[in-house]
Amino acid sequence: MSKLTKIDRFFNNVKLTADDELFVGVDVHKKSYHVALFLNDAPAIDFVMPAKKEKTKSDAKNDASRSAKRGLRNRADRL
């Protein structure tokens, strides 16, 4: 049985729509990144991840894939 991460639990529980505004803030440090998501002007989730180029690339691809499966697009696509 696999353990869900804090991020997985968040995305499994939230149902985003095209009307939602999701903002991402990233505080970049040499050894780690602090990421905060705000959903509709309210803090939604924050987490710290290691500053490893390979891991960051794979996580970004997984997140993009997860968003595509849910039918989400970035804000520029809606303009």
The burial of 37, by beta-carbon neighbours within 10 Å (0-12 exposed, 13-18 middle, 19 or more buried), is given as middle
pLDDT in tens, 20-62: 898 999 999 888 889 998 999 888 888 888 887 676 666 666 6
Please report which residue ranges of 1-79 form alpha helices under DSSP H. 6-13, 53-69, 75-78
Full-model pTM? 0.56
Q: What is the pLDDT of residue 27?
A: 93
- Give me the pLDDT at residue 78, please: 44
Higher pLDDT, 30 or 70: 30
pLDDT for residue 70: 59
Distance CA 52, CA 15 (A): 30
- Strand (E) or helix (H) holding 46: strand 42-50
